[in-house]
């Protein structure tokens, strides 16, 4: 999942890219940019999205989706197990009647 804060920290720790493409943030340190303390002091607008909150929501949706798939897979496995169990019983009954017929 894309994380802009992590991306800046890992790929532009010296702020060369940001300074070049976002001149309004020149002179601000990496922590100030990440924390958003430039707002009100710079002509650069405040963040539109709360990435932290958005990331948590998306992560929860992914977990829920995975849970649904897991529950579906478990139900399918139970059905298949029950099928083979019933087939095993039928086979045993067949073997018993077969051996009684030969005796």
Distance CA 19, CA 28 (A): 9
**pLDDT truncated to tens, each residue of the chain (103 aa)?**
778 889 999 999 999 999 999 999 998 999 998 888 887 788 888 878 788 888 889 889 888 888 888 888 889 999 999 999 999 899 898 888 888 877 6
pLDDT confidence of residue 53: 86
b/e per residue 13-30 (b: at least 16 CB within 10 A):
eebeebeeeeeebeebee
pTM of the entire predicted model: 0.49
Helix, strand, coil content of the chain in percent (nearest 5): 75, 0, 25
Distance CA 47, CA 8 (A): 15
């Amino acid at each position: 999942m894309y994380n802009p804060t992590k991306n800046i920290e890992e790929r532009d720790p010296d702020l060369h890219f940001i300074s070049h493409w976002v001149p309004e943030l020149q002179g601000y340190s990496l922590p100030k940019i990440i924390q958003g303390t430039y707002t009100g002091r710079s002509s650069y607008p405040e963040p539109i999205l709360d990435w932290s909150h958005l990331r948590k929501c998306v992560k929860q949706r992914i977990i829920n989706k995975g849970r649904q798939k897991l529950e579906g897979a478990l139900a399918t496995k139970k059905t298949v197990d029950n099928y083979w169990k019933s087939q095993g019983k039928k086979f045993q009954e067949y073997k018993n009647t077969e051996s009684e017929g030969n005796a």
